[in-house]
Amino acid sequence: MVISGLLDEAFDEWEAWHPVEAARVLGGVEAPWYVAAGWAIDLFLGGAPREHQDLEIAVPRDRLGEFASALAGYELFVPAEEGDEYLAWPLADSGDRPATHHQTWVRDPSAGRWRLDLFREPHDGDTWICRRDDTIRLPYTELIEHTADGIPYGRPEIVLLFKATRNNAAGAEEARGRDERDLAAVLEVLEPSRRRWLAELLARVRPGHEWLARLG
C-alpha cells in the first residue's frame, strides 16, 4: 500500500498526540528519545504552548525496532518525494528509502489520523550524531533535557541549530517567522555560555548565518 498526495492532503489528517501522550505510549522503551522541533522549544520555555499541527520525536536510527514494538497497533510509513509527488510507503515495504529519508510517520488506523513523526537520527551507541554535521556529537545524557514531569526534549541549542539550517522551500515564510520567534524567546532566558555554544555550532555548520550577529 502506498499513500499518495501527502504534500497536499496529509496535514488535514494530522491529529498529533500531546508530548504527554507520546511519553505514555513510549514509556517502556529503553532507547533514548526526545521531543524535537517546535514542541521542544515550548517544553524548554514552559508556560502555555502554542498550537502544534504535528509532533516530532527524535530516536536513534538503529533502534527504531524498539519504538515499532511500542507502537504495535499503529501503522508506520516512510514519507518521501518521488518526482512531483510526496508519497508514503509502509515501513516494511519502503526498500532503501529509510537510508535517505529520516522521517517515519505513525498512523492510527482506527481514527485515520497521523499521531507522531519519528526522526531517525544517526548515533554511535549512546552518542548522538548531528545530521547536519557529523563532527557534532553529544552523549544523549547531554543532548536530552526533561520537564518537571519527566518529558524528554532536545536542548534548545540543538533545536535552534536545526531550525537555522533547514530547507524552508515549502512554507518558507511561515516557517521563518516561527523560527525567529523561537530564537527571540529562547535568547531571553538562555545562559550566556549556552548562547556562545549555539553560535559556535551555527558558525561551523552555516558560516555567515544572519543569526550569528544576534548570538554574539
Are residues 35 and 130 both part of a single domain? Answer: yes
Q: Choose one of 122, 154, 186: the last residue of a domain.
A: 154
79 within some domain:
yes
Are residues 87 and 183 both part of a single domain? Answer: no
Are residues 12 and 115 both part of a single domain? Answer: yes
182 within some domain:
yes
Are residues 147 and 173 both part of a single domain? Answer: no
191 within some domain:
yes
Are residues 110 and 17 both part of a single domain? Answer: yes
Instruction: Name the region of 47 (left: φ>0; alpha: ψ -120 to 50; beta: rest).
Output: left
Burial 10-26 (b: 16+ CB within 10 A, else e): beeebebbebeebbebb
| Domains held by the chain: number | 2
Are residues 214 and 112 both part of a single domain? Answer: no
Residue 194: the pLDDT is 97
174 within some domain:
yes
Are residues 175 and 118 both part of a single domain? Answer: no
Dihedral (Cα; 117, 142, 25, 90), 10-degree rounding: 30
**Rounded to two decimals, what is the model's pTM?**
0.90
Q: How far apart are CA 211 and CA 208, in angstroms?
A: 8
46 within some domain:
yes
Using alpha carbons, select from 137, 135, 132 the residue that is nearest to residue 119: 132
Are residues 176 and 147 both part of a single domain? Answer: no
Helical spans, DSSP H, in the chain: 6-9, 19-25, 37-45, 64-70, 97-100, 140-143, 156-165, 172-187, 192-205, 212-215
Q: Position of cell 548515533?
A: 123
Q: Choose one of 117, 133, 154: the last residue of a domain.
A: 154
1 within some domain:
no
Are residues 17 and 108 both part of a single domain? Answer: yes
Q: Residue 206: which domain range?
A: 164-216
Tell me how many degrees the CA angle 53-81-85 measures, rounded to the nearest 5: 90
159 within some domain:
no
DSSP-derived secondary structure for 4-15: --HHHHGGGGB-
CATH of the domain at 51: 3.30.460
Are residues 30 and 84 both part of a single domain? Answer: yes
Q: Choose one of 154, 182, 199: the last residue of a domain.
A: 154
Tens-level pLDDT at each residue, the chain (216 residues): 555 444 445 556 889 999 999 999 999 999 999 999 999 999 999 987 888 889 999 999 999 999 999 999 999 998 777 666 777 777 776 556 656 678 899 999 999 899 999 999 999 999 999 999 999 999 999 999 999 999 999 999 999 999 999 765 555 566 788 899 999 999 999 999 999 999 999 999 999 999 999 998
Are residues 43 and 118 both part of a single domain? Answer: yes
Are residues 98 and 145 both part of a single domain? Answer: yes
202 within some domain:
yes
